[in-house]
Structure 1
Amino acid sequence: MGIFNLLFGNKSKKIQDFKSRNAVILDVRSKSEYESGAIPGSKHIPLQQVASKINEIKKWDKPIITCCASGMRSASAATILKSNGVEAMNGGGWFSLSKKL
């Protein structure tokens, strides 16, 4: 196992695990960013609204893969979701994530 996998885990493997369990892709970028290009079928909730929409997200009853432009906002969103009992992971930048799906 390489040092990268030791430090960060196998992200692609985790993405595939989430995907196999019908994960929802949650894009947390701004509305204009999302409208300029996004993963087909993804849901959009800007980062600033994630905490207030926890109950809605929990009703999806699926694991969540968060994404944004670079991975910073999606990391924050995944942390918020996890702290509220939602199974979530940071998928990173949406364009990079789209290639792993």
Structure 2
Amino acid sequence: MNIEEIIQEKQGTIVDVRTPEEFRGGHVAGAINIPLNEIPQRVEEMKELKTPLVLCCASGNRSGQAYRYLSQMGVDCHNGGSWLDVNYYQSLAV
């Protein structure tokens, strides 16, 4: 299953790794905010979310870092890139 299908079919959880301030400025409906710098302390919490996790941020850089770290920790996740792209994919859902 590709990332677009995961998002459109609501197969996992969308996790926005931007700062709380950025998140408040706009985010994907239904996304949860776990800032990149908090991920190491919140891995166990993230393992309990519905997987796969779709990670997003402003450009895909921070979500890429989160993806690499969480993958090493055994979390089923994908780098969704920009939250705007994830939002677009979600808007295509029927």
Above 0.5 in TM-score? yes
Residue 18 of structure 1, CA deviation: 2.7
RMSD: 1.5
Name the counterpart of 2:33: 44
Code of the aligned partner of 2:58: A
Q: Does 1:73 align with 2:62?
A: yes
Please point out which of 52, 66, 84 is paired with 1:63. 52
Query: Unpaired runs of 5+ in structure 1?
Result: 1-12
Code of the aligned partner of 2:54: I
Question: Equivalent residue of 2:26, what SS?
Answer: coil
Give the greater-gyration-radius structure (CA): 1
Query: Unpaired runs of 5+ in structure 2?
Result: none
Q: Does 1:34 align with 2:26?
A: no
Distance in 2 separating the partners of 1:69 and 1:14: 21
> Normalised by the size of structure 2, how large is the TM-score?
0.87
Higher relative contact order (CA 8 A, sep 6+): 2
Stretches of 4+ aligned residues off by more than 3 angstroms: none
> Normalised by the size of structure 1, how large is the TM-score?
0.81
Q: Percent identity?
A: 33
Distance 1:42 1:21, change over 3 A: closer
Question: Equivalent residue of 1:25, what SS?
Answer: strand
Residue 16 of structure 1, CA deviation: 3.2
Cα deviation per residue 1:70-97 (whole Å; 9 max; x = unaligned)? Answer: 0000000111111110111100010122
Contact 2:56–2:83 (CA under 8 A) maintained in structure 1: yes
Residue 53 of structure 1, CA deviation: 0.4
